[in-house]
């Protein structure tokens, strides 16, 4: 590739959803606008929504797939299997990425990285959340969560076997950990915008403590179903 334009039709954006119509109403026009200058594939993978997600996606001319099983790992793997692009970019429905994301991805690939993510900021003025987001620009053991998005060469994704569907939670940290063992991983210091809705329905301290607990149990290889149950019981949002 000799320029960012060479990524035309080579990036497949994959977004897993479950009743995310409100976010899609805001997100899809953004991708329509980007599509005027840059060609890409957008795949929305549904896990059994009861809202009008399918109508929104189809009416905007994007691909809408029904995953045979609900769960981000299943949905993202399903989307990746159908993707035509050489680069896969996994994004959450409540995340807002930069207009020129493809240029950032191109730069990372040109620097011989195989995969990567963004730092992020919350859509909240909270000073405590600003502290949280400041740490996401560093490449460490706790970086690489799904909120940071994930771009990866499709060939590398396939060599890794995709997302491990054993993980009904923490699937993002699992794959990033496996990427780092064999490939070069880049944290782009530019900030994307992520939703603070989890913090808005729980206290900042409560979310921090639950996250630390779940991370610790994850590294101790506690079964993911137990982790998900703990997360669901202690927090009002997943």
If asked whether residues 187 and 209 sit together in one domain, one would say no
Who contacts 80 (Cβ-Cβ below 8 Å, separation ≥6)? 12, 14, 88, 154, 157, 162
Strand 185-194's sheet: what is its strand order? 63-66, 41-46, 11-17, 87-90, 150-153, 115-122, 185-194, 95-96
Q: No. of H helices and E strands in the chain?
A: 10, 8
CA proximity to 179, closest of 160, 199, 161: 160
**Spatial distance between the Cα atoms of 17 and 51, rounded to a whole number of angstroms:** 11
If asked whether residues 183 and 230 sit together in one domain, one would say no
**Spatial distance between the Cα atoms of 137 and 133, rounded to a whole number of angstroms:** 8
CA proximity to 126, closest of 213, 192, 197: 197
Query: For residue 146, what pLDDT is reported?
Result: 84
* 41-46 and 63-66 beta bridge pairing: parallel
If asked whether residues 100 and 32 sit together in one domain, one would say yes
If asked whether residues 119 and 205 sit together in one domain, one would say no
**Spatial distance between the Cα atoms of 21 and 87, rounded to a whole number of angstroms:** 26
Residue 66 pairs with which residues in a beta bridge? Answer: 46
Query: For residue 237, what pLDDT is reported?
Result: 61
Query: For residue 145, what pLDDT is reported?
Result: 86
**Spatial distance between the Cα atoms of 7 and 106, rounded to a whole number of angstroms:** 7
Query: For residue 4, what pLDDT is reported?
Result: 56
If asked whether residues 98 and 30 sit together in one domain, one would say yes
**Spatial distance between the Cα atoms of 186 and 105, rounded to a whole number of angstroms:** 10
Cβ distance 108 to 151 under 8 Å?
yes
Q: What is the pTM of this model?
A: 0.94
If asked whether residues 96 and 211 sit together in one domain, one would say no
Distance of CA 106 to the CA centre of its chain: 18
pLDDT averaged per 10 residues, the chain (length 238)? 63 98 96 92 98 97 97 98 98 96 96 97 96 91 86 98 97 96 97 94 95 95 96 83
If asked whether residues 99 and 152 sit together in one domain, one would say yes
Instruction: State the total domains in the chain.
Output: 2
If asked whether residues 237 and 177 sit together in one domain, one would say no
If asked whether residues 215 and 188 sit together in one domain, one would say no
Query: For residue 222, what pLDDT is reported?
Result: 97
Range of the domain at 26: 4-197
Query: For residue 143, what pLDDT is reported?
Result: 80
Cβ distance 91 to 85 under 8 Å?
no
**Spatial distance between the Cα atoms of 90 and 238, rounded to a whole number of angstroms:** 18
């Amino acid at each position: 590739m000799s320029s960012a334009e060479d990524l035309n039709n080579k990036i497949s954006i994959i977004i897993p959803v479950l009743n995310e119509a409100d976010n899609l109403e805001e997100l899809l026009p953004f991708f329509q606008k980007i599509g005027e200058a840059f060609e890409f594939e957008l795949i929305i993978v549904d896990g059994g929504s009861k809202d009008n997600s399918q109508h929104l996606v189809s009416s905007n001319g994007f691909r809408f797939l029904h995953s045979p099983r609900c769960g981000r790992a299943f949905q993202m793997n399903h989307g990746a299997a159908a993707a035509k692009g050489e680069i896969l970019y996994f994004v959450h429905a409540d995340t807002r990425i930069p207009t020129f994301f493809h240029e950032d991805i191109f730069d990372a690939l040109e620097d011989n990285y195989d995969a990567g993510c963004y730092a992020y900021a919350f859509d909240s003025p909270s000073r405590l959340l600003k502290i949280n987001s400041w740490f996401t620009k560093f490449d460490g053991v706790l970086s690489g969560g799904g909120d940071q998005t994930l771009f990866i060469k499709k060939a590398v994704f396939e060599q890794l076997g995709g997302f491990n569907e054993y993980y009904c939670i923490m699937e993002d940290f699992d794959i990033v950990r496996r990427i780092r063992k064999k490939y070069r991983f880049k944290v782009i210091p530019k900030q994307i915008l992520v939703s603070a809705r989890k913090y808005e329905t729980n206290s900042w301290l409560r979310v921090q403590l639950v996250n630390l607990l779940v991370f610790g149990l994850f590294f101790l290889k506690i079964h993911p179903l137990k982790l998900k149950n703990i997360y669901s019981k202690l927090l009002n949002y997943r």
